[in-house]
Amino acid sequence: MAKPLEGIRVADFSHVIAGPLATQFLNLLGAEVIKVEPPAGDPMRNYTRNPERRGMAEPFVGANAGKKSVVLDLKTDEGRAAARKLVATADVVVENFRPGVAERLGLGPQALTTAHPELIYCSVSGFGQDGPMRDFPAIDQVIQSVSGLMLLSGHEGEPAERIGFPIVDTYSALLSAFAILSAVVQRERDPQRRGQVVDVSMLDATMVMMSSVVVPMMLAGESPRRAGNRGFSGAPTADTFATADGEITIGAVQQIQVERLFRTLGCEDLLDDARFSTPDARMANDAALQAVLKDRFATRTALDWEADLAAAGVPAGKVRPLDETMTLEQLQGRDLFLDLGDGSQILNAGFKFGRDGPGVASPAPGLGADTEAVLAQLKAED
């Protein structure tokens, strides 16, 4: 059986992370993604500290393996004409130009969906296609700042700090791919097979990503409090603790989990202590309980505690550096690491199908590697 999106062609005019990663999810599900790049290439090709990988930087490979690359100079009449020919054969267009740029190039949603009513057109931008901040330039960490995300982590009084990877770009990409897939389903169910115009704002996406703190503020006026490594529940038994070698994070939130935690730590007498016997009591005596827990966790290694707590049914995990996580046996056999056929691997979609699941089998394309073949095909189809 074919992959879910086989037969779907995506004309991808996006660059850097949010747009290309969105089309990569479609690519992993079987869509043919034709990446349109300027003569200088996607800037992400050079986002590497290793000079030998310039032109094929590691983040670029991860977001573009399996795609085709076509170089078109959209500043020229010839380039724009070729782009319109490509769009005429596509099911989906994705772009992340600054708002207004696509229209100036003659590649805006109104022009293209009028000419091709079945087209699904997705724009990804910092603040969306309308509103007073529409024309503000933005990158991931700017949206982290504007959205309030940078003031959710850490402790009160500390300076704001960005999340250590482009989380806004990544979530915006996921939301864009979800929106495009929804539009594909909608078109298939529409007797007139009408396409859709999708407007993804990175700021909007970030607010949705933070819904667990945004919605309480909307409903109850409850501002989030910065609590460091404390869990969302605020419970003193949901935190990160030092062990004999490294740290471990505990997520004992429910009463049964707390009881199991105390027994595993060998301090079941706490269950009979009125200060710690109920959730409210534990919150009221937070510092006293944390002192006990810190002393207990310091007696053994993080791996030892992780194994024993997991066996007891208590959520717990050693704080690991990424290179250690990559060696976990748990990650093997999950279809997570994708072989590209050239001896290298990238990450797959992050979920498994019972059959015909996500994946690609070819590495990221060299700049313009498919220009001649794709343009020849478009000419033949005229």
For residues 316 and 248, is the Cβ–Cβ distance under 8 A?
yes
Which residue has 């696509």 as its token pair?
102
What type of residue sits at position 36?
V
pLDDT at 305: 98
Q: What is the DSSP letter of 343?
A: S
* Sign of the Cα pseudo-torsion (63, 68, 73, 74, in order): negative
Query: Of the candidates 266, 263, 264, which has an alpha carbon nearest to the alpha carbon of residue 307?
Result: 264
- State which residues of the chain have pLDDT below 50: none
Q: Tell me the C-alpha to C-alpha distance, in Å, between residue 245 and each of 45, 301, 320, 330, 360.
A: 39, 5, 11, 22, 40
- Catalytic residue (one of 42, 91, 140, 169): 169
Q: What is the DSSP letter of 97?
A: P
* Domains of the chain, start order: 9-210+333-380 (3.40.50.10540), 240-321 (3.30.1540.10)
pLDDT at 382: 75
DSSP states along 167-184: HHHHHHHHHHHHHHHHHH
pTM of the model: 0.94
In the residue annotation, 169 being an active-site residue is answered as yes
pLDDT at 222: 86
pLDDT at 1: 57
In what order do the strands lie in the sheet containing 9-12? 68-71, 32-37, 9-12, 92-95, 120-125, 196-201
Residue 371: its H or E element: helix 371-380
